[in-house]
Amino acid sequence: MPPSPSTLARQLISWFSHNGGYLSSDIQLAHDDSHGFHVVAAGPLSSPVLVSCPLKLTLSVLNLEPDRHDIRSVDSPLQRCRGKIPNHILSYLLLLDQRRIGDASPWHAYISCLPPPESLTTPLWFDQEDCTFLAGTSAAPAAQERKQQLLRQWEDAVAVLKDLQIPVADDINGEALLWAATIFTSRAFVSTHILPDIETVPILFPVLDLLNHSVSAKVEWDFHPHRSFTLKSLDGEHCKPGQEVFNNYAPKQNDELLLGYGFCLEDNPIEQFALKLAFPPMVQQYAHEMGLLHGRSVPFGMSPAFLDQDPSTEQHFLRTANHPFGRYDNHIPFFRGIPPFIVHFFFIQTVMMLDLDLAKVDVERPDPRITLQVLVLLHQAIEQRSRSLPLHLQQEPTNDKQRFAKTYRDGQAKILHAIREELQTAIDRLRRPEPACAPGSARLLSTADALSSLEIFSPERICTFRQGMEKHDLHDPQDEPMVWILLLLALTTSWLTMEHSDPPAPPSWLSPVLSHHPLPTLEDGIEDVPTYEFIDAHLGDFVSTARPASASSSPVEVLDHLGKTSRLARHRALISGPTEHLGARLIMWGMKVADQDLAPVCEDGVVKKCLFVRPVVRGITGGELSVYEPLDDVAI
């Protein structure tokens, strides 16, 4: 029968104190199934010193160095592996070898109190059902990558051991290595403070490592280089009998706590959502050639400090409002929870998509169309990410691993969905129906909105338009740009060709579009010839005119005829200058609007092409005026 926990605790304390360790008489070792061995108070602490562990009791790869005087050296065949196996793997092998030799090990009392594999709760020990609680988080692939890396390193180490004919390889398997790795990641301290003159290695400090973590624990770490490590409590006078006494590992996010230690904190105050994003080669090359990776090209007043980092290795973090680390500097409030590197990436994507001349862009405060494109691209990416990590998980945990994993994934989901909501709110403000919008405010219109505008403005012509859509089967999402061009032409043609002496006003959003995009000239040329030819040939299937030049005239011919008359005088405020070849130029105008001002907006999991209607500033439409001053903090 194995020794009881109380027997193991007495043996550990006896071994520890007889070898120079100190454990306050005001604290005791306790054990239960959920915590394993831990430390509780017998009452208020009479001294701040809780535990002091001499360096000579520590366990690490340094014990394999025969010429050290401040650390216990062990005679082991693993000494021949120094320089041939990485230090951290060699540390794991030493721990396993000492466990294998049982009471012949100087650390037998300590190793006997280490948790067995079945009680470990880091993701290295998750089964398939446990892993469902990590689905959609960054910890899931990180844990899998970590496990695969350790097993590869184990295979490499076995090859070295066999080459050196060291029998340890016959007694240790990959699962045992995972156990040793978990012991070190969850209990070891780095050597930096106690051995500042050597390369950093992880070190196990017996007994001192039994104290669990609390972010609120007030403690002090007192290192005496080459001698000892002492842990002090700064509020021990308030301890009550049986109360657990904690260490404080410093503020850590739940992913680090879960992956390294196997637990998480509810409502962790410093929790962030980690993102990794590397530039695709084509984007990287374009950004470099266009000078977009220089500080002067970082938009929205963001700090360019991130340009000094390696994006392939650095993590970037989403932060919710009131985060203790603060949010990111940005002129746009709803971008402040998103790391500058991510915002800058989508700014580069925008420059590429809109084919912008950066020399003509006010990078500090870009044109609202640029800001909108960054917004919708970011929202689309965050929305897609959110679908893989729902806000609520219905499945309930059945063990500690699942409980900790759910705590972590729920915290991550809250952050991700909070950022999604911020972006969604900005888009929703632009997607409000016309009666809810202030006059002249920026808007985002769907084809459904535009169809409603056409129906209100000219009810008799909406049937013609819908029949044209059915005839040419324009119902696929990829057809939306074509539908938009036809809708713009249907509205403008209906407006221009009405017979009434005092025709109804067109939709309020059409005037800013006409003003911002004046009629092109024929000399401007046509880039998308197939689209132009389709519209020129079939516009009559979508648009009926009230001013036919003859019974058989097409809408384009009617518009060309109208452009030669004086009947456009009442529209000169919006259609100014020469109007010859009006039909052809209106088609070119509709194509230009669709090319420049359609944005991919994600709604209910579907990406729609929405028309951005630019804001009217102090009675002036479109143009180059700043959008930031006259609008509130969530409008574009």
Spans in the chain with pLDDT lower than 70: 169-170, 312, 434-440, 499-503, 546-552, 566-577, 617-636
The Cα–Cα gap between 101 and 91 comes to 16
The Cα–Cα gap between 412 and 268 comes to 10
Domain endpoint, select from 400, 430, 460: 430
Residue 583 domain-assigned (yes or no): yes
Q: What is the pLDDT of residue 566?
A: 59
Instruction: Extract the tokens encoding 165.
Output: 């004919």
Residue 462 domain-assigned (yes or no): yes
The Cα–Cα gap between 172 and 306 comes to 44
In the chain, how many domains are there? 3
Judgement on whether residues 58 and 17 belong to the same structural domain of the protein: yes
The Cα–Cα gap between 235 and 138 comes to 36
The Cα–Cα gap between 571 and 506 comes to 11
Residue 131 domain-assigned (yes or no): no
Judgement on whether residues 418 and 448 belong to the same structural domain of the protein: no
> Residue 222 corresponds to which amino acid?
D
Judgement on whether residues 298 and 412 belong to the same structural domain of the protein: yes
Residue 224 domain-assigned (yes or no): yes
On whether the CB atoms of residues 393 and 410 are closer than 8 A, the answer is yes
On whether the CB atoms of residues 205 and 229 are closer than 8 A, the answer is yes
Judgement on whether residues 378 and 425 belong to the same structural domain of the protein: yes
Residue 298 domain-assigned (yes or no): yes
Residue 267 domain-assigned (yes or no): no
Residue 324 domain-assigned (yes or no): yes
Judgement on whether residues 425 and 278 belong to the same structural domain of the protein: yes
The Cα–Cα gap between 452 and 577 comes to 30
Instruction: Extract the tokens encoding 4.
Output: 């009881």
Residue with tokens 């490592």: 209
Longest C-alpha distance within the chain, in Å?
A: 112
SS3 content of the chain, % helix, strand, coil (to 5): 50, 10, 40
Q: What is the pLDDT of residue 627?
A: 34
Judgement on whether residues 350 and 468 belong to the same structural domain of the protein: no
Judgement on whether residues 423 and 447 belong to the same structural domain of the protein: no
The Cα–Cα gap between 136 and 387 comes to 9
CB neighbour list of residue 199: distance below 8 Å, 6 or more residues apart: 87
Q: List the one residue out of 478, 481, 480, 489 whose CA is nearest residue 536.
A: 489
Domain endpoint, select from 190, 223, 252: 252
Cβ atoms < 10 Å from Cβ of 521: 13
The Cα–Cα gap between 361 and 245 comes to 59
Judgement on whether residues 239 and 174 belong to the same structural domain of the protein: yes
Q: What is the pLDDT of residue 567?
A: 59
Judgement on whether residues 108 and 211 belong to the same structural domain of the protein: yes
Q: What is the pLDDT of residue 147?
A: 93
Judgement on whether residues 172 and 207 belong to the same structural domain of the protein: yes
On whether the CB atoms of residues 102 and 112 are closer than 8 A, the answer is no
SS (H, E, C) 348-412: HHHHHHCCCCHHHCCCCCCCHHHHHHHHHHHHHHHHHHHHCCCCCCCCCCCCHHHHHHHHHHHHH
Q: What is the pLDDT of residue 576?
A: 64
On whether the CB atoms of residues 126 and 141 are closer than 8 A, the answer is no
Q: What is the pLDDT of residue 552?
A: 57
**Cα–Cα distances in angstroms (integers) from residue 408 to residues 30, 265, 276, 283, in the given order:** 27, 8, 18, 33
CB neighbour list of residue 316: distance below 8 Å, 6 or more residues apart: 274, 275, 276, 277, 306, 339, 341, 342
CATH of the domain at 229: 3.90.1410.10
Judgement on whether residues 19 and 42 belong to the same structural domain of the protein: yes
Domain endpoint, select from 368, 397, 430: 430
Instruction: Extract the tokens encoding 614.
Output: 């630019």
Please, what's the b/e burial string for 182-218 (b: 16 or more CB within 10 A of its CB; e: otherwise)? bbbbbbbbebeebbeeeeebbbbbbbbbbbbbeeebe
Judgement on whether residues 107 and 191 belong to the same structural domain of the protein: yes
SS3 of residue 10 by DSSP: helix
Residue 450 domain-assigned (yes or no): yes
Supply the range of the domain harboring residue 423.
273-430
